[in-house]
Amino acid sequence: MSETIKQKAVSSIFWRILEQGGKQGIFFIISVVLARLIMPDQFGLVAMLTVFTAVAGTFIDSGFSTALVRKTDRTQADCSTVYWFNIVISIISYVILFFGAPLVADFYGVAELTAILRVTSLNLVIGSVAGVHRTLLTADMDFKALTKLNIASLIISGATGIILAYMDFKVWALVFQNLTQTVINTLFILFKVKWSPSFIFSRQSFKEFFGFGSKLLASALLDTIYNNVYNIVIGKVYKASDLAYFNRAQSLSNLTASTPTGVLQSVTYPTLCKIQDNEEVLKNGYRKILKISAFVIFPLCLGVGAVAYPLINVLYTDTWIFAATLLSIIVFSMMWYPIHAVNLNYLIVKGKSNLFLRLEIIKKIQGVLILCVTIPLGIKAMCWGMVASSILCLIWNTHYTGKFLKMGILSQLYDLLPIITLSAVMYFSARSLAWYLGDGLDSLICSVLLGASVYIGGALLFKFPEVSELKNLRK
């Protein structure tokens, strides 16, 4: 890997960390304020509709943005073709959701969902206008610009949501917060990226991108529907407030797992694409990414699970305390997220979208079967089912990296064993103290300090190599 690529990758990581850290920090503050102004059942109404807009968003992208980033010799015809495709599909998606909204409301038995879905779906059309512009910034690894734009739009939209919530707009405060963020972000992106589409739609470009992206589209659809199937089931079978508790627990768990992993993925994907033909360098790169990801994310996930009760009680009040029960379970599922992502990223970098799709189909069938078994047992059992599914998915996701890079599940777990052991010691230490002290602020502070001391002190005492890697990355 050349020094230029390394320097750009490190710079990108810095800005992505700053962006995600800033975004999540701001979003976290906003969510705490909104949770104190809006009741859980109102959050549940918005969560019921997530699957429909998420599926539509997946169709709009269709894997074309990933294909556009991967193609290093992209042309104006390529970009314009993707742009017009995104616009047309977004309009079609909005029309379908607009007229299908009453059916969705009837499914859940909540008439108010018709108007909410029709307004929320506007995000799809507005966001598609800057889809290619955003992809070009990612391809150029200009995460500095993305950081500034995303944080600015989040602050403005967050302030809008809080003001509306204070004025007792209830669920509409959440709806217009999301809409404002999309509008502001789109305008900022269009102003920043000096690219304009041509009135071109290249069949050759479309065929090339569709050939690669169609497999990713099918995989993404499976993933999107599966990731939201819990929202559908809980929203249909249980109360809207129960869905809000589940979503709160899941979002906090995502904050410690999928968000930091997403930072690494967004930076390492374009970087690893540049070295995809050098298998030895690629393997070493993956091992480092795997270990650094686990070193950071394992303790974050388990740490949040250890202090779940005082964390929820202090931040959101005891109205949301059932979310702590769910959070303390879900973290054992989400802690493996970076391992899944790193292994699957190899298939995308190597252009093996057909194998990627095959894995997704197998895992989703497995997950649905586990879900069907746990639905009658309650929401807690469903969360434990997520843990079981995540562990089983490790076997599937490491199959091809084991086959092609000689990095199978046993090899990876052996590499990660010291990190897993230290994270477990940290978890039991912090969890025991939190249980002893209760759910107050003193318990939260003392448990966090103890957990951090155990993990950081252990890593330094036993000279974990990841400490040096992170120091070098910082430099």
pLDDT at 164 (0 to 100): 95
pLDDT, one tens digit per residue, over 7-19 is 655 666 666 666 6
Q: In angstroms, how far is CA 290 from the centroid of its own chain?
A: 17
What distance in Å separates the CA atoms of residue 64 and residue 62, rounded to the nearest whole number? Answer: 5
Calpha distance 405→413 (Å, rounded): 15
Distance CA 379, CA 247 (A): 12
Q: CB of 83 within 8 A of CB of 131?
A: yes
Each residue's pLDDT tens digit, 325-384: 999 999 999 999 888 888 887 777 777 767 877 887 888 899 999 999 999 999 999 999
Report the chain's mean pLDDT, rounded to a whole number: 85
Tokens of 133: 């512009």
Q: What is the pLDDT of residue 91?
A: 94
Q: Is residue 28 exposed (0-12), middle (13-18) or buried (19+ Cβ within 10 Å)?
A: middle
CA distance 220 to 60: 11
Residue with the larger pLDDT of the pair 1 and 302:
302
Percent with pLDDT over 90 in the chain: 44
pLDDT value at position 278? Answer: 64
Angle, CA of 354, 297 and 70, to the nearest 5°: 35
The three-class DSSP label of residue 39 is coil
Other Cβ atoms closer than 10 A to 81: 26
Half-sphere exposure of 275 (CA within 13 A, CB side): 20
Alpha helices in 274-378 (DSSP H): 279-306, 308-316, 322-334, 337-349, 353-374
Task: Please report, as a single letter, which amino acid is at residue 102.
Answer: P
pLDDT surpassing 50 at residue 391: yes
Q: pTM score, two decimals?
A: 0.79
Which of 153-157, 275-279, 290-294 is the least confident region? Answer: 275-279
Distances (CA, A) of 425 to 335, 429, 458: 15, 6, 10
Rounded CA gap, 243 and 429, in Å? 31
CA distances 229 to 76, 144, 224, 238, 365, Å, are 38, 35, 8, 13, 12
- pLDDT for residue 1 is more than 50: no
Average pLDDT score over residue span 98-120: 94
Tell me the mean pLDDT in the region 109-118.
Answer: 94
Q: Which two tokens stand for residue 426?
A: 């940290």
| pLDDT band (50, 70, 90) for residue 217 | confident
| Lowest-confidence segment of 15-29, 101-115, 144-158, 436-450 by average pLDDT | 15-29
Q: How far is CA 131 from the centre of its chain?
A: 18
Q: Is the pLDDT of residue 80 over 60?
A: yes
Length of the chain (residues): 475
Give the DSSP per-residue string, 94-135. Answer: HHHHHHHHHHHHHHHT-TTHHHHHHHHTHHHHHHHTTHHHHH
Alpha carbons 436 and 438: distance in angstroms, whole number = 6
CB atoms near residue 176 (< 10 Å): 18
Q: Where are the alpha helices (DSSP H) in 38-75?
A: 40-48, 50-61, 64-70
- Rg over CA atoms, the chain: 22
Rounded CA-CA distance 447/453 in Å is: 10
- Spatial separation of the C-alpha atoms in residues 214 and 222, rounded to whole Å: 12
Alpha carbon distance 73, 94 (integer Å): 33
Q: Which residue has the tokens 């549940």?
A: 44
pLDDT at res. 4: 55
| Residue-wise pLDDT tens digits, 236-254 | 999 889 999 999 999 899 8
**Longest CA pairwise span in the chain (Å):** 67
Q: Are 185 and 149 in contact (CB under 8 A)?
A: yes
Distance CA 206, CA 203 (A): 5
Distance of CA 12 to the CA centre of its chain: 18
